[in-house]
Amino acid sequence: MKKMFLFILVTLFLGASHSSNAAATNASVPVLLYHVVSTNPDPNNQYQYSLTEFKKQMDYLKTNGYTTLSIDQYYSIINKTVSMPSKPVLLTFDDCTSDFYTNVYPILKQYGMKATQFAVSNWIDTGGHMTTSQLKIVYANGIDVQNHTTNHSSLTSLTHDQKYVAINDATTKIRSITNKSPIYCAYPNASYDTDTVSILKNLGYKIGFKVGGGLSKDTSDKYALPRSMILNGDILTVFIRKISTGQ
């Protein structure tokens, strides 16, 4: 009986140690950035991407065992508070353009994938952009909606008060759609400074995304987290390289 009791204690201890170590392993997560995904992308616009190629990419992720993350899962992983799946990836889309609802969302839904939409709040319900109703639908089906400011102005060109309004007013708008305050921000044009970071922290934001910089790691600056942009002409081999290296 005593031996059995000791066995149980040792088993519980090892199990707890394993869980702790799983969460403590070095985090490394690719974060991808898309803009427009179109059936007929303009070859001269680097921000417009082919829907056909996008389908190939999502099929590659599914076939090869990647786990698409919610933004909360991503934050927990790089904060080392939860264990990391063997092949994590965070899919992000900027500007809440209407093609996300018509082209991207059906594919994500088909594959059961998660993603994050960084919405420019004053562009919602305007031509070429998603409606409030559409954002509510995608949010209810696994798509996070987070802050990309009110008007997509370069934050370094704004005064302190203008920066605050650009971030805070977008916070209010997004909260009215999701019933949850956004706590993650993507800097428009990858433009930010120490004043921007200070405002984000004061408003309760946990992270800020720039563009470029490789893979997200637990050692990365949480207010300068990297994203790899998928550009017009990026074929599947380039995509595979970007999810492997962030470059």
| Contact (CB, 8 A) for 228 and 247 | yes
Those residues with Cβ within 8 angstroms of residue 78's Cβ, 6 or more apart along the chain or in another chain? 27, 29, 216, 217, 218, 220, 222, 225
Chain segment 46-90, per-residue pLDDT in tens = 999 999 999 999 999 999 999 999 999 999 999 999 999 999 999
* Phi/psi at 89 (5° precision): -155, 140
Report domain 2-245's class: alpha beta
pTM of the model: 0.90
DSSP annotation of 141 reads: T
Chain segment 117-156, per-residue pLDDT in tens = 999 999 999 999 999 999 999 999 999 999 999 999 999 9
